[in-house]
Structure 1
């Protein structure tokens, strides 16, 4: 029986003296080589397990991804093709991601809620000429196909339909006809493998470039500081289009020879039954997920589950009762797709440190600075800066946006735009976002992008989007609108938004006002809007109070 890694932080520092991680030479951290290693050492071990009962061993994963790659090549995919992937959590979606990396192509994971201008931006910026998608999203692709000149091929999973506006539509189910033979691959660890999009906190979403090795190293603290290894099963309930699901989950489990259990989506009522059925030992919960699990009525068997670790963000104030009820440990960390997951709250952290994001792991340095980039004393809030101690620990930058790279990387440090402080013991305490973002149910939402969508309404003259505190989640999206049209009302605006925007971005609160507060530089003072709304919440239009427009998922916790 395989055991979990027992590598400790001191040993870890020695083992990553610049060229090695665990028993890997950094230069061997490519998808083709890592998967080949696991096929040699544990071919019959289950790598993929789904809540629907599917299983695939490492050997079967290798053969399936060979078939996908050879099938793609038979249809003309070339080594420099960028392939977007717009799929719900599934074995097919994960196999597609693995196949793209294994073939040395560039994968572009896309949030399945993306549509309209946002989806257009993702595809155009990333230079995606192919897209693999679940069939239900064919309509979203068809809507914008004419605005994406490079989009040539759409591959659908689940139903064979034609997508107008593109040269051809293929059926992903045909991958099984591809050859199982190994194919030539000369990918290097430094080659571009994925482009993941940021939340767009200071403008339109940026495409973060991940080279092959960084897809395995992005959350290396899971191994070094949380003792996760080959005996673990990671439960993917967050989207595989996110770094947490794809890199912290699926790819990290492959690197250590573990198992990835996949749920289509998070369900509070099914979570523990699915964890037991899949043997899940570790997962990541974002936003209000911990609260949703707590809201499920307790039973005598709550602690009878295989889960030993849950990484929670944000860390709940009720951590002690949660741990006792479910018989596990809650951990946490700090990271961002632009750079890395670079801190970890130790499993044995003392009670007074719970709520922090832990300490920087051995591969990274963290510095807190003032507005002039000068270091501040412990306990003083400032901007969090990061840098790697070893090669290939940071991103390759932003795709086709060198000016954004120069802005973020100043004075030899990566500027996160986030505020926090390091205490006297070296624990990082996250305070908030300097960036203009809204965090709703685990999704970072760009205020700028919300404003861009709302401003498309012909009767909207000015708009400001900002977060308001929610009952169950971190934030809810609120907008203040200036209009001179008597025809514009809140329900009509929200119906317009529902047609144009991903559902998670659609505002909940609408505030119609004669003017927006501005400073001397004519920048909107959103903090004044937040203050006014908090003091006058009853005067806001609330989507949840309109039976025809409320989100069905908000009637009760998911599941």
Structure 2
């Protein structure tokens, strides 16, 4: 079984069930499955063969869903790309990923035209029309073909090639901390197993209506908010772009039952002045991932909106989910939960040996969700996967009941005078301050102690001072953990999923000094 064949199975059993809702219109499973087959057939007629690489340069829309499942049904390997990337970032992934076909928006045609000389291997460009593109009169050129034409030329009876469990289904380019992004190769088995195991662990059923506002090109949304509900016959509520107003509106109108987001999204929803708890009353579950959720934020959100948040953990290389807080046992605020079905997590020392309960080490993972490797990077693959275990690079600890806690990224740990300081610990303290909206902590060079703790804070109180917050930290933290300085910002830099970018703050400090 794989994503494509399972969707056909659901469509056969429940043809009239709503598969997705998008901007007021809905599509049944039978309609979606037919569109996928026709698009796959159209790709095949264009010369897209099994194993060819197809890029999705798209945001959240039916185009993405049909493009993804259609390319998979045709036997292609899909490479999702953030459509707001720069020309350099896009051309690197298209070239490194050996992409032959690009599916993108008409609004990006001018950008692709400029890049054409850098993309000699791209044979086809399939263009998705938008109202804005029509208004601007953007025309199709050269090797471009409209998405609608590809579907129209396809046949609904198309079967597609046989797909093996170990065939590469998707290559996800991870935003590397150093150097260029690496392409994590996820197989059909990786993606299908993780979607099913996540759905079953979180009890996502055909009664659920899941809001997909996280970017679909990101693995969190791809698995948890798109594939998981589709594999169990649920309905996906596609929201192109996150905004608190839109989420409250959509949740109420569509009677949403599940919302998946990153901590900053929950913070925006909580801080939204017009946020009405009644608008979210149909939600049975909120899911958080992508970054550690401050305990104060989790408790305040749950108290206001009367809905539980299950915090989990994952990474692109694991398709991505490895842990979630269970729904049938007490949740533990601050924890990423326990092993999901069929996946095993372990905390080890530098020699790969499991550490005692409560001790900090590196989190490693194994299961049917772990990638087959990085595309064209055998050395990096060997470093990441050892003896069947994926080394995550995250520092964690496990309690006596098997709940895991992310302490911090290995690379983000700050060493002050020989003492380890985990940014999250300092951030948790500051999030408890009533005037703090957002905070990020980084390490900066210090001539006396090697490194010092520096904080970036967004506050709702214009009169709050650096001295106030440092004094507050002194009350709650050991001396070596207390920030040496605090910078107030209007907002913190974030990526497209809403994750706070500590690296950008560090780069900002470096450029300021220069």
TM-score between the two structures when normalised by the length of structure 1: 0.71
Partner of 2:302: 323
CA positional deviation for 1:477: 9.9
Partner of 1:91: 62
Q: Is the 8 A contact 2:212 2:236 kept in 1?
A: yes
Partner of 1:68: 39
Q: 1:537 to 1:326 in 2, by over 3 A?
A: closer
Structure-2 separation of matches of 1:528 and 1:299: 38
Q: How does 1:298-377 map to 2 (within 5 A)?
A: 302=278, 305-313=281-289, 314-316=292-294, 317-339=296-318, 340-350=320-330, 353-377=332-356
CA positional deviation for 1:69: 1.9
- Which protein has the bigger helix share? 2
Q: 1:411 to 1:63 in 2, by over 3 A?
A: closer
CA positional deviation for 1:277: 1.8
Structure-1 separation of matches of 2:439 and 2:68: 30
Partner of 1:173: 148
Q: How does 1:272-283 map to 2 (within 5 A)?
A: 272-283=248-259
Equivalent position SS for 1:338: helix
Equivalent position SS for 1:270: helix
Q: 1:476 to 1:59 in 2, by over 3 A?
A: farther
Equivalent position SS for 1:275: helix
Which segments of 5 or more consecutive residues in structure 2 lack a partner in the other structure? 414-429, 458-482, 499-514
Residue-by-residue CA offset, 1:294-335 (whole Å, 9 max, x unaligned) = 011266653653211111233342333422322321101111
CA positional deviation for 1:530: 4.8
Worse-superposed segment, 203-212 or 298-307: 298-307
Q: How does 1:151-190 map to 2 (within 5 A)?
A: 151-158=122-129, 159=133, 161=138, 168-185=143-160, 186-190=162-166
Give the number of aligned pairs.
Answer: 439
Q: How does 1:105-504 map to 2 (within 5 A)?
A: 105-158=76-129, 159=133, 161=138, 168-185=143-160, 186-297=162-273, 302=278, 305-313=281-289, 314-316=292-294, 317-339=296-318, 340-350=320-330, 353-388=332-367, 392-435=368-411, 472=437, 475=440
Q: How does 1:76-87 map to 2 (within 5 A)?
A: 76-87=47-58
Residue-by-residue CA offset, 1:140-196 (whole Å, 9 max, x unaligned) = 3334332233122222212474688xx612222323422333113222232211111
Q: 1:221 to 1:176 in 2, by over 3 A?
A: closer
After the TM superposition, which parts of structure 1 deviate over 6 Å for at least 4 consecutive aligned residues? 516-519, 531-534, 542-545
Equivalent position SS for 1:183: coil
CA positional deviation for 1:113: 1.8
Q: 1:304 to 1:197 in 2, by over 3 A?
A: closer
Residue-by-residue CA offset, 1:230-282 (whole Å, 9 max, x unaligned) = 11111101011011212222211121111111000111112121012222211
Q: Is the 8 A contact 1:221 1:342 kept in 2?
A: no
Which segments of 5 or more consecutive residues in structure 1 lack a partner in the other structure? 1-27, 438-468, 481-515, 520-524, 555-559
Structure-1 separation of matches of 2:54 and 2:276: 48
Structure-1 separation of matches of 2:386 and 2:211: 37
Partner of 1:29: 2
Worse-superposed segment, 318-327 or 131-140: 318-327
Q: Is the 8 A contact 1:202 1:435 kept in 2?
A: no
